[in-house]
Structure 1
Amino acid sequence: MTTHTDHDAISLFVSRFFRSLDERKFDDDWARAYFTDDVRGVSPLGVTEGRKALAEGTAEALGRYARTQHIATDIVTDVVTAPEGLTADGATVTVSWNALTTHVHLDTTLKDRGPDANPLFTVGGYYRAELRRTPLGRRFSRMAIEAIWTRGEPPVIARRAG
């Protein structure tokens, strides 16, 4: 079990991560602040391996919208492994939370869909993640996003040739 101090720190980390998604600065500093080198991400769009690929995929996915708002709630934390305590490098904690994400479509998407197009695509779901203690602090080493419900239409995703 995590302590109240650990839980508070992890909750703040999750909140900062969600806020950062809406600020849209997905550079190397952003990726290093939130992910381990070997992070594995699973989302409705597929599986992503590695910090650079996850940052690029996040930028691409959220770049399909004019704006977004990510809200996290009901954060639950549990220790997975802590051979020398939660402050030791390599100690891991699982964290999960409910998420409500609102995406505002680009003007070009709305124009393509016509005058009655819904400007919003909203998703309710869960995030499940693993945080690993590194010399730089806790970072996500695993993250999975599960959409439970949606409202509105997602953007059209162009298929890559190949």
Structure 2
Amino acid sequence: MALAITVAELVEVSELDLGAGSWRTVDQERVNLFADATDDHQWIHVDPERAAQGPFGGTIAHGYLTLSLVPAMLKELMTITDHGRGVNYGLDNVRFTAPVPVGAQIRLRARITETGKRDDGGVRYRVALTVEIKGQQRPAMVAESIYITYPKD
């Protein structure tokens, strides 16, 4: 169950472990749809027969596909109950540390590392992100995401 927190409570947080979400399968259909959306049809992602002979023994998800799933996975861990609007402010130190084989399950582990009130009434906060692969020691991705949120008017 997601942590429910208000914007006012969020600004008071110095560091908070959000835990890990549920596992989700990355299937070939999702990889193919991402390839179509981004015009990245590299064979390692979309050609199972050729990829079976490649370095990973099968197709793998795009690193940016893994990254693109973070907002949905983060919603599972935290909800800002009085969120009116917000923006993804950016990312720091994004690393794709292990390939995600098609058919693998991934989940997000997250931790708020810093918050701060802005002069415009918003709150900027940083979240350390780790996308784990079920059954593997090395994560698929590590990064730090920066968000700005504003309470409802």
Structure with greater contact order relative to length (CA < 8 Å, sep ≥ 6): 2
Shorter-normalised TM range: 0.3 to 0.5
Structure richer in helix, relative to its length: 1
TM-score, with normalisation over the residues of structure 1?
0.33
Structure richer in strand, relative to its length: 1
TM-score, with normalisation over the residues of structure 2?
0.34
